[in-house]
Structure 1
């Protein structure tokens, strides 16, 4: 296949460029070393699961739990630094899960990785599909699964090498466990466009409903007074803080005891974000943890991995990535804690989940211009907030069990 030869060449080129960059920059680290394929020996009798970053990593936890019940040894790889650090912290004391980093998708590292690992089955999570890994797995007759498969609108509309690669990869999977019927439809159309074969796929639901949200350990009373109300903006992207600050600025004139908590998607943006709020008292989460008891108007979450806990203390949750063209983030998190949830129109990455929550009455979709009226009405009506929160919680609980259904579907192939 000509396109695969082109891809192999590009893989080698990027691999060598990355090595050269590390050499001149001196940015050596465990993560970069593993990306280059410098890995240690893997445990035996293992299932390999690749989950790119934080969101996918958390989503796959219940699936890993089900595999562990069946005494499987698991190698879990990630593709980002944040994901690597989180995975190490989650499974630090778990001898049945070995955490590593996926190496570059180029011939040398792929063959070396798979020869060392010798997996009995491979799972790629959501959108994280790599042509050379798929190619080598098929050559070695390793069972290959697409777990919680997701096809973004961008991928569906793509052209060129990426579209050709997708149309070839999808039929190579022994089974595609798609998260929604819409994703199954899009994957089927992509695979049929390449004349490489048809998709072997089923839709059993979104694994994110099974995410094991832990009971919140945050005590709201430690930093929020009894008469204060809290809006939490989670996983915000550039541009959204200004939208929500404008909202907050208008609301605080009517609700004097209102507080705003912001958890940016990228915490390195915090110092720039704070410049937007120059006339408000802004505190970082780390300051509170150090014993700073100052009053604040806005609290910035500068720690990774605690967003679901922060959602648990909200009166209203705003889900970021949805008022800019980012496709939205996981609205299940605040709903799990019975928090009334609001998101914007850009929820393409969670289209079916968002639709389910809206239809159940557990979440509200609002444009930038509708946001003020919707949030103000929720703040004024305590019973309405409780009702929306309860409906959201019921919707989440009624859709659990996806991981177990997936295991039952593929167990005979393991």
Structure 2
């Protein structure tokens, strides 16, 4: 751990000018800075006083969403316990407070130095630490092991990009992973990868993907506002979780889509909030009437049919997908591994994605087998969207097949909770 901590400290020192510049110019990373540096929030100790606790770490929005049903089920099974939730990003923090903060203390994950994580362990005295997906923090894991606190990696995955790095350093990772009590993997492939990088085979179980169990509200206030704003005849395309480069592709193709289907309407939802303003500029530079969802007022209508609605809010996209005739799921036309196609599939909305879908390979493969998704090159984006808007029967059939995939694969939450409760029983 000494070498790891020294490298981490060196990286922070070398990167300090960049971090300070980012904080000064954009305001990013300021939120929760004291907590990240080891100052335990005043309410955290009080929230856990006299109660058994679980510490769950979910780095950002996607992990918070995946953890939502798990946390609710743990609360149901352990009503007297407190489940404390840490995040790394500000957007994850905001969503966790909004969705889960009423019953759970929410705080920023401290930097992974032994002296800092031990302060939080002393404040919470957790019976269990849960790390979502691929959050493997060596000093936190080591501190838990030294205090006899079990650690479980839940909804675990090892991405295509991460696997080679883990394998190159497997001799270093093996003792760290050996301190993790339980790996609950999304799929058999991910389970095998954990074993390959150093996890003990007996500690790995396949419980499925928690994202199959996500039940976002069918109608948020924003969804209702958008439904009221748009005419009933509008054929809405929801382009969700888009990354840099994808908005430009969509905006270049959108006039051609409107030629094919004049009633089409575009809701554009960038993945990262810090890009909202840049995407707004892209929309206006491309000559479209921009409507920012955060500024909508009741009864407002686009001034022109080809206006683009920018969904510049947090936590609404999963519900807004329900408005779509077609959904494009981003992070897939650029080589970033894609985002979750189950969010629109849940509502029976046909899905279009690019070829980069490694982060959700099993889900995408299941949807492809069911003919519930179209995988396209950038050059095929206009054709795919236009055809699904025009061919309503085909779109409806694709959407229903996607909904069946979503329903058939449910149950990961129950399997995960059963394993976690077993871990707690073995500890007592």
TM-score, length-normalised on structure 1? 0.91
State the distance in 1 between where 2:54 and 2:231 align.
Answer: 48
2:100 pairs with 1:91: yes
How has the CA–CA distance of structure 1 residues 23 and 336 changed in structure 2, closer, same or farther, with 3 Å as cutoff?
A: closer
For the Cα contact (< 8 Å) 1:322–1:345, is it kept in 2?
A: yes
Q: Note the C-alpha offset of 1:292.
A: 3.9
1:304 aligns with 2:314: yes
Q: 1:116 to 1:13 in 2, by over 3 A?
A: farther
Correspondence list, 1:117-132, <5 A = 117-132=124-139
C-alpha distance in 1, partners of 2:320/2:392? 20
Name the counterpart of 1:10.
7
Aligned to 2:301: 293
Counterpart CA distance in 1 for 2:377 and 2:323 is 24
Q: After the TM superposition, which residues 384-403 of structure 1 pair with which residues of structure 2 at under 5 Å, given as runs?
A: 384-403=394-413
* Secondary structure, counterpart of 2:54 in structure 1: strand
Distance in 1 of aligned mates of 2:301 and 2:255: 23
In the TM superposition, what whole-angstrom CA distance separates every residue of 1:228-278 from its partner, at most 9, and x where no partner exists?
211111010000011112221211112122211100012332333234333
* Displacement of 1:16: 6.7
Q: How many residues align?
A: 405
Structure 1 spans left out of the alignment, 5+ residues: none
- The structure 1 residue matched to 2:259, chosen from 245, 253, 260, is 253
Shift of 1:372: 2.6
Closer/same/farther in 2, CA of residues 24 and 191 from structure 1, 3 Å limit: closer
The residue that corresponds to 2:209 in the other structure is 206
Show CA shifts across 1:76-116 (max 9, x none). Answer: 1111111111111222322xx22111101012102222122
Aligned to 1:317, the other structure's residue is in SS state strand
User: Structure 1: how far apart are the matches of 2:112 and 2:385?
Assistant: 46
SS in 2 for 1:355: helix
Cα deviation digits, residues 199-218 of structure 1 (max 9, x gap): 62011110111112212242
Where does residue 154 of structure 1 map in the other structure? 161
Q: Distance in 1 between matches of 2:403 and 2:301?
A: 32
SS at match of 2:84: strand
Deviations 1:110-134 (A, max 9, x none): 2222122211011100011100001
State how far apart, in whole Å, the 1-side matches of 2:374 and 2:263 are: 24
In 2, Cα distance between the equivalents of 1:274 and 1:211?
29
C-alpha distance in 2, partners of 1:177/1:251? 43
Worse overlay, 28-37 or 299-308 = 28-37
In the aligned structure 1, how far is the partner of 2:174 from the partner of 2:112?
18
Distance 2:365 2:208 in 1: 13
Matches within 5 A, 1:258-407: 258-277=264-283, 278=285, 279-289=287-297, 292-296=300-304, 297-407=307-417
Alpha-carbon contact 1:131-1:165 (below 8 Å) kept: no
- Give the number of the structure whose residues are more often helix, by fraction: 2
Residue 48 of structure 1 aligns to a residue in which SS? strand
Asked if the contact 2:167/2:197 (under 8 Å) is kept, the reply is: no
Tell me the distance in 2 between the aligned counterparts of 1:236 and 1:24.
22
What is the deviation of 1:409?
A: 2.3
Task: Determine whether 1:236 maps to 2:242.
Answer: yes
Report if the CA contact (8 A) 1:146-1:175 is conserved: yes
Check the 8 A contact 2:229/2:300 in 1, yes or no: no
The superposition leaves residues 273-312 of structure 1 with CA deviations (integer Å, 9 ceiling, x where unpaired) of 2343332212111232476434352111111111012211
- Supply the RMSD in Å over aligned alpha carbons: 2.5
Of 140, 145, 150, the residue aligned with 1:143 is 150
Matching of residue 82 in structure 1 with residue 98 in structure 2: no
Q: Structure 1: how far apart are the matches of 2:405 and 2:292? A: 33
- Give CA deviations for 1:354-378 in whole Å, capped at 9, x if unaligned: 1111212222211212323222221
SS at match of 2:34: helix
Q: 1:367 to 1:168 in 2, by over 3 A?
A: farther
Instruction: Please identify, of 25-34 and 381-390, the stretch whose mean Cα deviation from structure 2 is larger.
Output: 25-34
Q: Is the 8 A contact 2:170 2:198 kept in 1?
A: no
Aligned residue runs from structure 1 range 34-53, under 5 A: 34-39=35-40, 40=42, 41=45, 42-43=47-48, 44-53=51-60
> Is this contact kept in 1: 2:229–2:299, CA < 8 A?
no
The offset of 1:198, in angstroms, is 4.6
